[in-house]
Structure 1
Amino acid sequence: MRSARAVRSLRREAVAGWAAVRHAPRRTVAAEALGCLLTAALGLIPLLLVRPDRPVLAVLEALYTVLLVPLRRYRPVLAMLGTGPLLVGPNVWVLAVVPLIVLPAARRIAPPRRAWHAVWAACAVTLVLTLAASPFRPGAWAREPAENGVSAVLLVLLPAFAGILLGRRRPLVSLLRERNAYLEQARSLTAAAARLEERTRIAGEMHDLLGHRLSLISVHAGALELAAARQAPPLAGQAELLRTTAGTAMEELRDILGLLRREDTAVPVPEPEGDRGTHEDITALVAESRRAGVTVELDWTLPGTAEPSPRTRQSVHRVVREGLTNVLKHASGAPTRVEVRGGSGRVEVSVTNEAPRPGHHQGTGSRSGLAGLEERIALLGGSFTAGPLRDGGFRLAAVLPYRPHAITPAVPPPAAKPASATGPSSAMNGLVGGAPGALRGGGTPPAGTRPPLSDEVLTWPRVLGAGCAATLVILPTVTFLIVLLTIAALR
């Protein structure tokens, strides 16, 4: 009955082992096969040069060691227990493989208490086999227990201690990386929430201040247009221009407020309107400036077959509008020339005005419009220049590509799994409030993330100390093996 159970158990182990080999990565299988071949070579080839006292048992021990090499990965406890007979066998060359079996096996056994139990059990197996073999060897009662005891300490205990340290360091490093990703995600979400809140506040201020003023201007301009149509017909056109300009400004303000209230990654920025930057659009801008009292000439030599992108046409519109606005503010009445040319995949646009009339009061400006325009054109890969001329005039020019490169966002999305997949508000629970407990395991973590562990297990001294201690533990083992193998070779 027991033999049948043993056969069934062995069959299950064989089936499980074959399944593990089939599902393992090819790189792992190749590495294990290479390790088995090197172990067999290390245990068998020296036997041809230095003949042992019991050659058959030495060969069987080498083959037994080969079986322990893959077993350390899938059955680490059995591999740890199986190293006991290697310390008392006649093949001294396989002792070099014992630390390479014990260290990975101890690293894979969890918790550490279970690993230490397996280590002590392997040492007990070594002691029992040593005492059992001592009566058959004359004079081995005192010598062999001492030698095997030293071998157990240096080849089993110290590598097992190093393996346990490395096994504890691996999850610590993994948890440290997870904590770093968690904090980076929290920082990105906090910055995004603060950015959206500030943009919403700016949008509200602009709506309350500029929207109210533009609405008043539009209402008064409508009343002025009606009054001018009855009392001063020549001024009706100017009043109509004032009213339509105020209405256009109100529509553009609403578009800007809509963009400010949108989240960066939630809603894509719409493309500019298709009629911006066309010949009709620029002609309309020039006509408005003429009605305002500016002498403007338009030189449009852009080929009809040219198809600039919507962003390029939007920038052309902005350059011309900014140039004509500056002429109205600082050089009203000065002759002005608007040029739009194309060729070689680029669009050249310029607004040049002559010196203002003597006695004309020039308005003061902060050059913020020019700075914003320069930044916009730089993002599209173009060039922008603006400055006074020698004759007292002013020139504003830009060179734009037909197909500008894509604009990269200023803040990249977080690399970790986005918690905003369930909504920005739910993802920011416990993170935006500024409570330290939200990042130290207290409170409810955002959806899609794991709660961070205690800071006590995620300290760099512990992580680095585990590796340093493991290195110091392995050095005596390597030294002992070198001395032991040297003595065996000299015999």
Structure 2
Amino acid sequence: MRAAPRRTVVTESVLACLVLLCSLAPVPLIPPAHPVVVTLLGVWTALLVPARRMYPALTVLGCVPVIAGDNVWAMVVVPCVVWSAMRRVAPLRRAWGVIGASGAGAVLLSIAAQSLSGLPAMRYLVVGAGATALFILLPALSGVMMGRRRPLTRLLRERNAYLEQARLLNDEAARMEERARIAAEMHDLLGHRIGLISVHAGALQLAAERQAPQLAAQAELLHTTAGTAMDELRGILGVLRHRSDKDSGERGTREDLAALVADSRNAGADAELHWNATESMEADARTRQAVHRVTREGLANALKHAPGAPVRVTLHGEGDTVVVSVVNDAPPVPCSPGDGNRSGLVGLQERIGLLGGSLHAGPRPEGGFALCARIPVRPDAPSAYATSPKPLSDGAGSRPPLSTEVLTWPRLLGGGCAALLVLLPTIGGSVALLILALLH
């Protein structure tokens, strides 16, 4: 009892008390010829209920005296005890041995009982053999059938888990193959173009230093921006190819944001950085990367849509959350709306949403634009290339395997129907026995 779970102990205790009550409650109402024997048989039957879990074979053999006794109410409980115990008897050879021994023991004990009581031998033997078949042999056969089904159900559950894992691995392999193809196309299409831009920007910088020194700073910025774009393209390709970005952990720091603000200031923007977080704030690499992307997107939008307007980049910590905002005032000279398609903001929304954060972007009431993101310092969300356990929508991808109930349904139906058919005579015999006892 100490080793068993509390729920099991409570359940078995309640069942044993119910069996004891069922076996002894009719005794005062219908006084038997041998009350002491009837009471002992009721107590013995109640003890067999918890014993069937640890000693199933001995429990079936212990039901033999109840079949040969005079306690009809305890005899009705015997089929349930035998059925539950035989489900736990293994291997099959041992189960058949227990069935044979219990059947033979019940017949022999019936012969001994009739010889002591002086009842007619043939009639008592027929009744005893019928009771043995109905209350021991048939429930034991049904229990063996149900017990043989349990390993099959366990095997099918393991097979279902294996198929589920195989499906996830196949889906992951398909995603990685598609990402590798996209990375190759991006490398071939964009890498070559950006490389040409960088080369021509370098040549333009050299020419501007000799012929137009006033344009040298802009040419240098163009060359530097092209090189930065190439580095970022390599980082994106590394993510698509399932490689970790070694330099991503250095982004999102104070020096990194200061560099972004300095680049915008060199491009003509009135940009400022307000760092209100502690210097020792240890944020996840994905959080730092998201902070970098928000800052860069906000500064780029301010340069494009509000040239000449003051821009303030603010970062502060709120416990386990990092808040970064890029706010610009209205431009000094009204300009026509740009041709942007908000794809950058959509990408930021998806990136920050994967980390469990939120992004707000929109015009300010007093004029200008505000971009604000709240990102967890230690996000629980997986990285962008992690496997998603959810099936793809619209029927895309491989179909998930059928559930365990569907996989085992034919076998469960066959085994359950056969076991029920075997128990039908036992159920009918128990009802008839109870009716005869009440009429008597």
For Structure 1 versus Structure 2, the TM-score category normalised by the shorter chain is 0.7 to 0.9
Correspondence for 2:271:
298
> CA offset at residue 197 of structure 1?
2.9
Check 1:274–1:476 CA distance in 2 against 1; reply closer, same or farther (3 A cut): same
Correspondence for 1:384:
360
Aligned-partner SS, 1:108 = coil
- Match runs of 1:50-449 below 5 Å: 50-62=30-42, 64-66=44-46, 68-112=48-92, 114-135=94-115, 140-262=120-242, 270-271=248-249, 273-275=251-253, 280-290=258-268, 296-298=269-271, 315=290, 317-323=292-298, 325=300, 334-340=307-313, 346-351=323-328, 354=331, 366-379=341-354, 381-386=357-362, 396-401=369-374, 403=376, 406=379, 408-409=381-382
CA contact (8 A) 1:169 1:467 kept: no
Q: CA offsets, 1:435-487, max 9 Å, x none?
A: xxxx9xxxxxxxxxxxxxxx9x9531211343455456556544543442343
CA contact (8 A) 1:196 1:261 kept: yes
> CA offset at residue 336 of structure 1?
3.8
How far apart, in 1, do the equivalents of 2:206 and 2:48 lie? 101
Aligned-partner SS, 2:182 = helix
Give the letter for the 1:383 counterpart: L
Aligned-partner SS, 1:90 = coil
CA contact (8 A) 1:377 1:384 kept: no
Give the letter for the 1:371 counterpart: V
Q: CA offsets, 1:259-278, max 9 Å, x none?
A: 333369xx999545143687
Q: How many residue pairs are counted as aligned between the two chains?
A: 419
How far apart, in 2, do the equivalents of 1:375 and 1:234 lie? 41
How far apart, in 2, do the equivalents of 1:373 and 1:486 lie? 77
Q: CA offsets, 1:94-152, max 9 Å, x none?
A: 20231132112211123445434432432233233334444555663343233333322
CA contact (8 A) 1:221 1:239 kept: yes
Q: CA offsets, 1:179-235, max 9 Å, x none?
A: 221111111222222223333333333334433333333333333322332333233
Check 1:76–1:179 CA distance in 2 against 1; reply closer, same or farther (3 A cut): same
How far apart, in 2, do the equivalents of 1:199 and 1:238 lie? 36
CA contact (8 A) 2:99 2:140 kept: yes
CA contact (8 A) 1:385 1:398 kept: yes
How far apart, in 2, do the equivalents of 1:71 and 1:407 lie? 48
How far apart, in 2, do the equivalents of 1:220 and 1:120 lie? 95
Give the letter for the 1:397 counterpart: A
Give the letter for the 2:217 counterpart: G
Correspondence for 1:462:
411
> CA offset at residue 313 of structure 1?
6.7
Check 1:80–1:277 CA distance in 2 against 1; reply closer, same or farther (3 A cut): same
How far apart, in 2, do the equivalents of 1:406 and 1:59 lie? 67
Check 1:48–1:366 CA distance in 2 against 1; reply closer, same or farther (3 A cut): same
Return 90-99 or 212-221, whichever deviates more. 212-221
Aligned-partner SS, 1:338 = strand
CA contact (8 A) 1:109 1:115 kept: yes
CA contact (8 A) 1:61 1:91 kept: yes
How far apart, in 2, do the equivalents of 1:110 and 1:280 lie? 73
Check 1:95–1:202 CA distance in 2 against 1; reply closer, same or farther (3 A cut): same
How far apart, in 2, do the equivalents of 1:322 and 1:74 lie? 68
RMSD, matched Cα: 4.4
> CA offset at residue 386 of structure 1?
5.0
How far apart, in 2, do the equivalents of 1:238 and 1:343 lie? 32
Check 1:66–1:318 CA distance in 2 against 1; reply closer, same or farther (3 A cut): closer
How far apart, in 1, do the equivalents of 2:6 and 2:301 lie? 70
Give the letter for the 1:273 counterpart: R
TM-score, structure 2 normalization? 0.75
> CA offset at residue 398 of structure 1?
1.9
TM-score, structure 1 normalization? 0.68
CA contact (8 A) 1:338 1:352 kept: yes
Provide structure 1 residue ranges, at least 5 long, that are not aligned to the other structure.
Answer: 1-20, 291-295, 416-433, 440-454
How far apart, in 2, do the equivalents of 1:263 and 1:317 lie? 20
CA contact (8 A) 2:205 2:216 kept: yes
Aligned-partner SS, 1:53 = coil
CA contact (8 A) 2:172 2:387 kept: no
Correspondence for 2:393:
none
CA contact (8 A) 1:353 1:395 kept: yes
CA contact (8 A) 2:302 2:311 kept: no
Answering whether residue 437 of structure 2 is matched by residue 488 of structure 1, we say yes
